[in-house]
A and B are shown apart, each in its own frame.
Chain A
Amino acid sequence: MRGPILALCLAASGHGAMVVVPGGAYHAATAKASEPTRDVPAFSLDRTPVTNEAFLAFVGAHPAWRRDRVSRLFADERYLGQWAGPLALGPQAPPRAPVVGVSWFAAGAFCAARGARLPSEAEWELAAAASPKERDGRRDPAWRQTLLDWYARPNPPRLPDVGQGPANAGGIYDMHGLVWEWVSDFGASMLVGADARLCGGGALEAADPLDYPAFLRAAFRSSLEGRTTTVNLGFRCAAGAPGAPERAP
């Protein structure tokens, strides 16, 4: 009963597009089996990735984030490159499709302007563990295969709108199958080079070597810098659970 009431409070405070994700124990796909799980407190998460139209409104209100004005320290040369112009979406960026080509700095600034923040990796992965049928669908071989099939597919030239697929068991859309998404602590992923333990055979020590999709995401994050943008990397925002004190993720 508590969830729906809290969700209503959220809607009243302007967080209507968010849903409460119950807390839980998180164990990174790249962590050793011997490492203890981390407790992730309940939090709120956007139901869908941030759309082009929402990001356009943000850029209009905060011109320092226009692609022709942004500082190169905070976004690389491809920032918002799929838009027709600095303040025009155009045919490659349908209004309701997820915004891509945004840097970590830009994504964080968008969320902060809403009084929110990026989800941590632990929060994102906790929410992403759900399949359409269950809160934790990671053990379901059929679901896992669905995810791997997506990772193997090339990007469509034009991304579809957000919220089209079935919601997962937590009421959240597009955690898989649409775009990659930023997390606040992407810099904690050190799969490539930086941490030799995680390379090669190190993966065999991981808690759940079968959760290959989570490995892929960690590898992808480990390749990013704060200013990086790619044509398939978007984001959604998070916030503390309503009524609960905010904690640094």
Chain B
Amino acid sequence: MTRAGRTAVALPVAALILMGAGVLRPAPVRAPAGPARAPAATAPPQPRGSIYDLGLRVRDADGIERGLDDLRGHPVLASMFYASCTSACPLLVSNMKRVAAGAPSGLRDDLRVLLVSFDPARDPPAALADVARRHDLDVGRWRIAVAPDEATARALAAVLGIRYRATADGMIDHTTAITVLDPAGGVRGRAEDPSAVAALLARLTGGTGS
């Protein structure tokens, strides 16, 4: 790859280094769910963190690379896939559709869906547009994009809790968790089962759960 390639690879992590407290919008802090751990006695609440702090850029179906900031302020369902996938991915798309359609009325209009392909070689912009057509997705609410390089794909996968690897037969083995993001970009949880994802989403409205 060229020098430009190297820059692109370094960017997401560079953005991480530069991330400052000023970028973070504090979200309500809930009691930790895990085992009790003694926090530093005087420390203020730790920032929950935002996926937007990663400064990731993805290539959209029109072929242009953009940041993810247009999603800020919206609740988001996010996952990763690849367009030529014939096994797990159609199920993933239909699960996300189902959850989005069944979202609580208070946030259904606001909800956005982000689906990012692992692989720019397999998924040119035309393939992304084709996914939207094939599954009859509302492109005003669904953002189907592709990671422009491996570093971006790995960083997004790490924050979304998705594992993947290319196999020798040209496929990509991957997990299919759907992550629920709050409007600030905080990760509110993830699950594969649509009803579990729906429950996470419902908690965003404050109607149920904590």
Q: Does A145 contact B (CB under 8 A)?
A: no
Q: With a CB–CB cut-off of 8 A, which chain B residues contact A112?
A: 10, 13-14, 16-17
Q: With a CB–CB cut-off of 8 A, which chain A residues contact B51?
A: 73
Q: For the complex, what is the distance from the CA of A63 to the CA of B21, rounded to whole Å? A: 9
Q: Does B187 contact A (CB under 8 A)?
A: yes
Assuming the A-B contacts A72-B48, A117-B13, A187-B164, are A245 and B186 also in contact, with contact meaning beta carbons closer than 8 angstroms in the complex? Answer: no
> Which of B159, B164, B186 touches A188 (beta carbons < 8 Å)?
B164
Q: Does B114 contact A (CB under 8 A)?
A: no
Instruction: Tell whether, in the assembled complex, residue B10 and residue A189 are in contact, meaning their CB atoms are under 8 Å apart.
Output: no
Of A30-38, A90-98, A132-140, A152-160, which binds chain B?
A30-38
Chain B residues numbered 134-157 whose CB sits less than 8 Å from any CB in chain A: 149-151, 154-155, 157
Q: Does A175 contact B (CB under 8 A)?
A: no
Query: How does the 8 Å CB contact mask read for A218-249 relative to B, with 1 for contact and 0 for none?
Result: 00001001110000000000001000011111
Q: Which range holds the interface residue count of chain A?
A: 35 or more
Instruction: Tell whether, in the assembled complex, residue B16 and residue A69 are in contact, meaning their CB atoms are under 8 Å apart.
Output: no
Q: Does A206 contact B (CB under 8 A)?
A: no
Q: Which range holds the interface residue count of chain B?
A: 35 or more
Assuming the A-B contacts A188-B163, A225-B161, A246-B1, are A73 and B53 also in contact, with contact meaning beta carbons closer than 8 angstroms in the complex? Answer: yes
Question: DSSP class of A's interface residues: helix, strand, loop or mixed?
Answer: loop
Q: For the complex, what is the distance from the CA of A187 to the CA of B24, rounded to whole Å? A: 26
Chain A residues numbered 89-128 whose CB sits less than 8 Å from any CB in chain B: 104-105, 108-109, 111-113, 115, 117
Chain A: CB-nearest residue to B158: A226
Instruction: Tell whether, in the assembled complex, residue B46 and residue A105 are in contact, meaning their CB atoms are under 8 Å apart.
Output: no
Assuming the A-B contacts A72-B49, A77-B37, A226-B159, are A195 and B150 also in contact, with contact meaning beta carbons closer than 8 angstroms in the complex? Answer: no
Which B positions have Cβ atoms within 8 angstroms of A? 1-3, 5-6, 9-10, 13-14, 16-17, 19-21, 24, 32, 34, 37, 40, 43, 46-51, 53, 149-151, 154-155, 157-159, 161-165, 167-168, 173, 175, 186-187
